[in-house]
Amino acid sequence: MDTMYKAAFTAAKFQEKLTTIGSRGTYELLEKAFQLYYLAKSPNVPLWAKGLVAGALGYFIITPDAVPDITPVLGFVDDLSVMVSALAAVAAHLSPEIKEKVEKRLERLKPD
């Protein structure tokens, strides 16, 4: 793995990106990011699927994007497109347990 990519692909960078997104209320993107995150951590997901997941999460975390995240409305469209494509390819591995973890995580993030 490239050194620059490895340094940028950390749990702290992932959390930083999630914080940015959460403050803008883009819960669909958060849902996809958490689905990919839990797929990456699951021991039941094959290596080829984890490779796709890592690529999508890497694109999400690392800037610059094709469309900068600061661009109103369109800023996260490219991230979402990459995530949806990866999830479509690995959908068979998105277990009910992973979906439940994502729902619980999103519930904690919703404003009161």
Give residue 80's identity as a one-letter amino acid code: L
More confident residue, 98 or 4: 98
Return the top range by mean pLDDT from 20-24, 94-98, 105-109: 94-98
- The residues, any chain, with a CB within 8 Å of residue 95's CB and separated by 6 or more, are 42, 44
Mean pLDDT in residue range 100-109? 89
* pLDDT band, very low/low/confident/very high, at 45 (cuts 50, 70, 90): very high
82 vs 34: CA distance, rounded Å: 14
pLDDT given at position 76? 76
Mean pLDDT in residue range 67-79? 64
User: Taking a C-beta distance cutoff of 8 angstroms, is the pair 68, 78 a contact?
Assistant: no
